[in-house]
Amino acid sequence: MQAPRAIVFDLDGTLIDSRGDIVAAANHALVRSGRDALLAATITKLVGDGARTLLARASRLDEASTSALDALVDHYTEYYCAHPLDFTRWVEGALEALEEIRARGDVKIALCTNKPRRITQAVIDGLDANRYFDATWAGGDSPDKKPSPGPLRVLGKLLGLSPSEFVMVGDGPQDVLAGRAAGCRTVGVVSHFLGSTRLLEARPDIVLESMAELPSVVRRWCDATARLAAHRDP
């Protein structure tokens, strides 16, 4: 297998612990629409498939309920963009992993998140993290979303690479399923959002308990493949 040429990261639960801000924005939207706020643990379990799906589940509205759900999404987005980092922090080991992988110089780094583009950009700007990513796909950038392989194919075009050269890193089944469908190697990272059950059911190539473990995996895959290629040279 060829050496990875890009590491693609999910955002929520993988790189950042954003539970507090997601809960605050979701409950703001629910209350503004005349609904009851929900427990943080309830909302957290609904995360991963984008804001519209999150709010449809939280409000028990059908995603086709255009006007009512549109209003919820608008309230959520406006509040979240105004409060992108009230509670959000880097996941332990995530920033160090980005720094170490960036320092290698032989692999690109991309972001692939179902989080809406406006909110994603507000969070990334606030964290001063734009410098880490060579390309970003966020919710709404194209019609489909993870677990479809479409977002990874878009990133392939942006980076000038085949998704088969990617490693997809995420904490949710949608990350692993998107990566597998696109032909990527997949790394599952156990997070506080979903735990391990659904992640393991998606069958990632490798499962990590911490983002701190990722640089050694990348190093092993890149260096082992390079040694194999060198051994085969005449």
Length of the chain: 234
Is residue 225's pLDDT more than 60? Answer: no
Taken in order of first residue, the domains within the chain and their CATH numbers are 6-17+89-232 (3.40.50.1000), 19-82 (1.10.150)
pLDDT in tens, 66-113: 899 999 999 999 999 999 999 999 999 999 999 999 999 999 999 999
Q: Under a CB-based contact definition with an 8 Å cutoff, are residues 31 and 37 in contact? A: yes
Segment 157-181 mean pLDDT: 97
- State percent of the chain over pLDDT 90: 88
- Contact predicate 8/110, CB 8 Å: yes
Q: How confident is the model at residue 230 (pLDDT cuts 50, 70, 90)?
A: very low
Cis peptide before 147 (omega within 30 of 0): yes
Predicted confidence at residue 224, as pLDDT, reads 67
Tokens of 70: 């549109």
Alpha carbons 171 and 48: distance in angstroms, whole number: 9
Scored b (16 or more CB within 10 A) or e, 22-36 reads bbbbbbbbbeebeee
pLDDT at 233 over 70: no
Residue with tokens 């949710």: 172
Our separate counts of H helices and E strands in the chain read: 10, 8
**Residue 10 catalytic?**
yes
Catalytic residue among 10, 12, 49, 171: 10
